[in-house]
Amino acid sequence: MELLFLVLFALHILKREALAVSHWCYESQKYEDPLCQGPREWYQIYATCKGEKQSPINIVTKNVVLDKSLNSLNFEGYDVKESSAWDIENNGHTVKVTLDTSAKIGGGGLGRKYKAAEFHFHWGVQVGQQYLPGSEHSIDGEKQAMELHIVHIREDASDIEAAKKYANGVAVLAFFIKIEEENRNYTSLISELENIKYKGQTAQMEPLPLSSLIPPEEDLGRYYRYEGSLTTPDCYEGVIWTIFEKPIALSLSQITQFSTVYFDGKNSTPMAENFRPVQFLNGREVYRSSASILLPTAKLLLLLLMLTYILSSLCQ
């Protein structure tokens, strides 16, 4: 009897230990914390993570369906600077800015207006002179260096938890970030990273107009659209994804700054490769908007035609 009691007690302790360490993490954290639950195990704690409409996905362009009703989105308040300071946070998974803004999106086949709630990033890792890309979505198998997610919730929802009660509660705008020239509009945000090195740290920063962090509106007519999920637990399904074709440009040194923050406290792993692997499409369609960017050759042809026309009218 006493032995049984002891065994039960030991089991109880073990179970408690197991629960205490079973927090979700990215694959890149398993080296430091082998017991944490990586993307393939998330469903053990959060059943939705093995649902049929998960994100991110690889977009295969030859299978994408043109949807003529997908016109340009309306960006409301995107060029306004918020009056209150931005809270930038290292939450142990990403760098996140919580928004308290009137910025909204509508149109573009969304069906209703959604208000901006927060934005955060996913990134890769530097290996020698190379950068292993860390975007979540990919196009024809190709990933980009980073991905920015601006998370919007239904206008009538008070916060993200309330929005998740609906079937279409969340709309995320996704932007790829490519290694190019330096983007000064990101200077202040990146310089805050040294103040949020460790998990749980927050800092306040001067707000920026959201439009200054993304490509100009005239470049946002081309995008992909599909129904998916949040890419972190609880993997809530009910997210309308908009993935813009035009990437944001940052320099390599700006991109590598993101890995100066850590997944946890001092001596923990630098935050890198904080992306979820691509998920099955499971019969979902991916649509593309109708706006078309003229191909460089088409532009050249048009220019030649115009020149010919002008010259011929001059020579008459």
Which residues form the catalytic set?
93
**Tokens matching residue 229:** 């999920």
Give the interface segment with ligand NAG, choosing from 25-33, 208-216, 218-226, 292-300 (CB under 6 A). 208-216
CB of 229 to Zn ion, least distance (A): 11
209 touches ligand NAG by CB under 6 A: yes
Q: 74 or 168: whose CB is closer to ligand NAG?
A: 74
**Tokens matching residue 309:** 């026309």
290 touches ligand NAG by CB under 6 A: no
Judged by beta carbon distances under 5 to 8 A according to partner kind, the member of Zn ion, ligand NAG, none in contact with residue 202 is none
Judged by beta carbon distances under 5 to 8 A according to partner kind, the member of Zn ion, ligand NAG, none in contact with residue 152 is none
Give the interface segment with Zn ion, choosing from 141-149, 160-168, 212-220, 290-298 (CB under 5 A). 141-149
Name the residue with tokens 């649509």. 287
Give the interface segment with Zn ion, choosing from 53-61, 143-151, 191-199, 263-271 (CB under 5 A). 143-151
- Distance of alpha carbon 236 from alpha carbon 287, whole angstroms: 21
Residue nearest to ligand NAG (CB): 212
Query: Pattern 215-254, binding to ligand NAG, x per CB under 6 A?
Result: -x--------------------------------------
Judged by beta carbon distances under 5 to 8 A according to partner kind, the member of Zn ion, ligand NAG, none in contact with residue 212 is ligand NAG
Nearest alpha carbon to residue 74 among 247, 217, 219, 222: 217
Residue 269 identity (one-letter amino acid) = T
Judged by beta carbon distances under 5 to 8 A according to partner kind, the member of Zn ion, ligand NAG, none in contact with residue 38 is none
**Tokens matching residue 273:** 């490769």
212 touches ligand NAG by CB under 6 A: yes
Judged by beta carbon distances under 5 to 8 A according to partner kind, the member of ligand NAG, Zn ion, none in contact with residue 91 is none
Judged by beta carbon distances under 5 to 8 A according to partner kind, the member of Zn ion, ligand NAG, none in contact with residue 115 is none
Residue 264 identity (one-letter amino acid) = D
Inter-residue contact 279 to 128 (CB < 8 Å):
no
* Sole binder of Zn ion in the list 93, 115, 137, 149 (CB under 5 A): 149
Query: Pattern 131-170, binding to ligand NAG, x per CB under 6 A?
Result: ----------------------------------------
- Distance of alpha carbon 296 from alpha carbon 145, whole angstroms: 24
- Distance of alpha carbon 230 from alpha carbon 170, whole angstroms: 9
Give the interface segment with Zn ion, choosing from 73-81, 146-154, 181-189, 279-287 (CB under 5 A). 146-154
Q: By CB under 6 A, what part of segment 170-189 binds ligand NAG?
A: 183, 185
211 touches ligand NAG by CB under 6 A: yes
Give the interface segment with ligand NAG, choosing from 207-215, 225-233, 261-269, 300-308 (CB under 6 A). 207-215
Enumerate binding residues for Zn ion (CB under 5 A): 149
Where on the chain is the footprint of ligand NAG (CB under 6 A)? 183, 185, 209, 211-212, 216
